[in-house]
């Protein structure tokens, strides 16, 4: 179970060059939840997915490193969302149009493994959130958000103070909830800026939304959620454990996270 929870909590990043298969897999009792996706090229080919054209031909065409399509996320949702596994061949036709003909491209996808059965609890700002599981079962935190989201919360309606709806979220909410509640039968925490800090402008009402599961186990190993997502060394790797990556590959993971934030 400790390994199962470790897999569920981690973010996974996979990639495939043009002409290769991308393959996503999640463990038993979970399904794929796509977080972000990128198709194009934003780093030189000597760092990732070398050009497949002959060297003499490649020198005639200047490589485009500002190349991307806006349909990659929707395509990944169509192909893989809510499935336990998915696999398909990566090429520009899959995404509609070729954003940069003559430049070799690649797909980057960032995903999590979502439990098939989970619970959700919300606490308004300064209220106490209580989580509990039945006897012989313990809490496994899947996600936690403290702040204000675009859709708001039905449990905590926002007062219209004439302020624009700006999304703002604490960067440490998930780590704090794991520290407080992971592996325990019950726990409680206040949805306050004292606990989570204030990620929003003064006066903006916030709420805490936690998604968790209950499972039966006598032992849970600690989970490290502070490590950044890792790119697998091979797009066809079947291992669910993150593997060591080069500096360039780790940089790509950070670029993907920044790309998702910007979009």
Q: State pLDDT tens for residues 125-184.
A: 999 999 999 888 888 888 898 998 766 667 787 665 556 667 888 888 988 999 999 889
Most confident of 100-104, 163-167, 208-212: 208-212
Helix/strand/coil (H/E/C) assignment for every residue in the chain: CHHHHHHHHCCEEEEEECCCEEEEECCCCEEEEEEEEEEEECCCCCCCCCCCCCHHHHCCCCCCCCEECCCHHHHHHHHHCCCCEEEEECCHHHHCCCCCCCCCCEEEEEEEEEECCCEEEEEECCCEEEEECCCCEEEEEEEEEEEECCCCCCCCCCCCCCCCCCCEECCCHHHHHHHHHCCCCEEEEECCHHHHCCCCCCCCCCEEEEEEEEEECCCCCCCCCCCCCEECCCCCCCCCCCCCCCHHHHHHHHHHHHHHHHC
Given a cut of 50, is residue 39 above it in pLDDT? yes
Triad 232, 18, 240: Cα angle to 5°: 20
Tens of pLDDT, residues 78-89? 999 989 899 999
Tell me the pLDDT band of 191, cut-offs 50, 70 and 90: very high
Given a cut of 60, is residue 48 above it in pLDDT? yes
Q: Which domains does the chain have, with CATH numbers?
A: 1-115 (2.60.120.740), 119-215 (2.60.120.740)
Q: What is the per-residue pLDDT for 101?
A: 85
Given a cut of 70, is residue 26 above it in pLDDT? yes
Residue with tokens 């060394």: 233
Given a cut of 50, is residue 233 above it in pLDDT? no
Q: What is the per-residue pLDDT for 190?
A: 94
Tens of pLDDT, residues 114-142? 877 778 899 999 999 999 998 888 888 88
Q: What is the per-residue pLDDT for 78?
A: 92
pLDDT top residue among 32 and 156: 32
Q: What is the per-residue pLDDT for 249?
A: 45
């Amino acid at each position: 179970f400790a390994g199962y929870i470790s897999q569920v909590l981690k973010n996974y990043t996979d990639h495939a060059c043009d002409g290769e298969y991308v393959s996503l897999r999640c463990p038993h009792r979970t399904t794929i939840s796509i977080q972000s996706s990128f198709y194009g090229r934003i780093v030189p080919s000597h760092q990732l997915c070398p050009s497949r054209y002959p060297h003499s031909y490649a020198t005639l065409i200047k490589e485009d490193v500002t190349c991307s399509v806006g349909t990659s996320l929707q395509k990944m949702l169509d192909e893989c969302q809510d499935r336990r596994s998915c696999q398909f061949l990566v090429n520009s036709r899959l995404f509609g149009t070729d954003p940069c003909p003559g430049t070799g491209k690649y797909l980057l996808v960032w995903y999590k493994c979502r439990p098939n059965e989970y619970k959700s609890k919300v606490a308004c700002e300064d209220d106490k959130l209580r989580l509990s599981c039945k006897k012989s079962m313990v809490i496994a935190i899947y996600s936690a958000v403290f702040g204000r989201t675009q859709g708001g919360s039905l449990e905590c309606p926002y007062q219209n103070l004439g302020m624009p709806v700006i999304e703002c979220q604490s960067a440490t909410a998930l780590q704090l909830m794991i520290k407080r509640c992971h592996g325990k039968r019950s726990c409680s925490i206040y949805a306050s800026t004292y606990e989570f800090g204030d990620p929003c402008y003064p006066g903006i009402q916030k709420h805490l939304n936690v998604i968790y599961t209950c499972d039966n186990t006598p032992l849970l190993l600690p989970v490290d959620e502070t490590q950044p997502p890792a790119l697998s060394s091979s797009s066809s790797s079947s291992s669910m454990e993150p593997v060591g990556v080069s500096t360039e590959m780790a940089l790509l993971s950070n670029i993907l996270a920044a790309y998702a934030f910007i979009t």
